[in-house]
Amino acid sequence: MLVYDTQLTSRLLLGTSRYPSPAVLTEAVKASGTDVVTVSLRRESSSERSGQGFFSIIRSLGVRVLPNTAGCHSAKEAVTTAHMARELFGTTWIKLEVIGDRATLQPDVFGLVEAARILANEGFQVFPYTTEDLVVADKLLDAGCRVLMPWGAPIGSGQGLNNVPGLRAMRARFPSVPLIVDAGIGVPSHAARAMELGMDGVLINTAVSRAGDPSAMAGAFNYAVKAGRTAYLAEPMMPSDVAIPSTPEAGLAFLA
């Protein structure tokens, strides 16, 4: 998967919050096969000592860090957080979140576009957490984004893909734009389904960190993303309203 001129070997991105322990996080990252982990600036900065220890663990895994403006509710707050993340993590990559609704954690698409334009003009490579709205997607691309991260369902809900037609429409409208489904994925079959629709990648956090065995679940998502991508490239059969016999009727023996 090519994002911002960087070639990634894995199409699975992994979040790093709410794991039972650093050791469990480490094993989950390894089992996932991911190249990229997301890190919330608030998590990293919760205390200076623990934050440094956490980042040391991430560095030791040899993965790329995608800082996250999680918890920001305005464009100004998100831009400020992105500046802090660039200084702290030494990267121009930023996963941009501007939350508009506290119950569903749905993006504020107006603030999102505003912040994306500011950050792109300042040299950031923006990964915007957005809805599947095509008009918003167009505006984010016009603002300078070269990747889109539509939600599957509300963050942490585990509901899967609530708007399959919407995601399918995004894929058709933007065939050359990397689309990474972010939020709402609960089980590996949800991830496989997203990949079967032609999505370029999937970002997982809660489904792994809150699993009974995070490492095993991370491995399962690793396989699911690969299987879904392979199925998409194999051009799956189209659904039919009627039965289509798998065995030809011509030449079958019959009783008179």
Q: Which residues are catalytic?
A: 95
Ligand-binding annotation for 205, yes or no, is yes
Ligand-binding annotation for 194, yes or no, is no
Ligand-binding annotation for 183, yes or no, is yes
Ligand-binding annotation for 222, yes or no, is no
Instruction: Report the alpha-carbon distance of residue 182 to residue 12 in Å, rounded.
Output: 11
Ligand-binding annotation for 91, yes or no, is no
Per the listing, tokens 């205390």 go with: 47
The first and second tokens of residue 253, run together, are 């023996």
- Going by the annotation, the residues of the binding site for 1-deoxy-D-xylulose 5-phosphate are 156, 183-184, 205-206
- Going by the annotation, the residues of the binding site are 156, 183-184, 205-206
